[in-house]
Amino acid sequence: MASKNTRINEMIRIREVRLIDEEGEQLGVMPTAEALSMAQEKGIDLVEVSPNANPPVCKLMDYGKYKFEMDKKNRDAKRKQKQTQLKEIRMQPKIEPHDLQFKTKHVKQFLAEGNKVKVTIRFRGRELAHTERGVMVLERVLDMLEDGFAVDRKPMMEGRFMSMILSPKPAKKA
């Protein structure tokens, strides 16, 4: 919807308004009653486009068309938003080199799609005494990724898990 609090025609109860005609020409500050009568003569609406200005700015236009254009802008803005997800890859501190490469390839794919990735190392039993091995695995993952990511959260222990969060580097706008 355009705006729930957009006032039109008789809903505008201010004494004076700054008026703009349908071509965008400024007609100056005038009483609201006079602006309203001009709108009725032309068969269009008096729409308050900037209520916070002093005096408020009103424009002579077709309100239905204005509302449609505002809805269209909102829909386009919503469509252009990208939802990022947090994907998780789990490993163990005693992971084999090929498995590490395979999982790192998935991390690269997730980052290329624009998602954040949480790389988690799960410690079981006595492995918890050697958390430095988990840090080494996470560092190897970073080395294998090369570039194109940013570390949002450095490796950190959470109970029996050590994790870090990576996000894709924002694309440079040319």
Q: How do residues 116-160 score in pLDDT, each as one tens digit?
A: 999 999 999 898 898 899 999 999 999 998 887 889 999 999 999
State mean pLDDT over 60-79: 88
99, 137: one domain: yes
pLDDT at 174 over 50: no
Q: Which domain holds residue 107?
A: 86-168
Q: Does 1 reside within a domain?
A: no
Nearest to 143 by CA among 104, 91, 170, 111: 104
Do 48 and 117 lie in one domain? The reply is no
CATH code where residue 32 lies? 3.10.20.80
Which of 80, 102, 128 delimits the end of a domain? Answer: 80
Of 113, 169, 101, the closest CA to residue 141 belongs to 101
Question: Does 21 lie in the same domain as 69?
Answer: yes
DSSP label at residue 46: E
Q: Is residue 129 part of a domain?
A: yes
The DSSP letter of residue 10 is G
* 4-25 pLDDT, tens digit each: 677 888 888 888 999 998 888 8
- What's the pTM value of the predicted model, to 2 decimals? 0.54
Count up the domains in the chain and report the number: 2
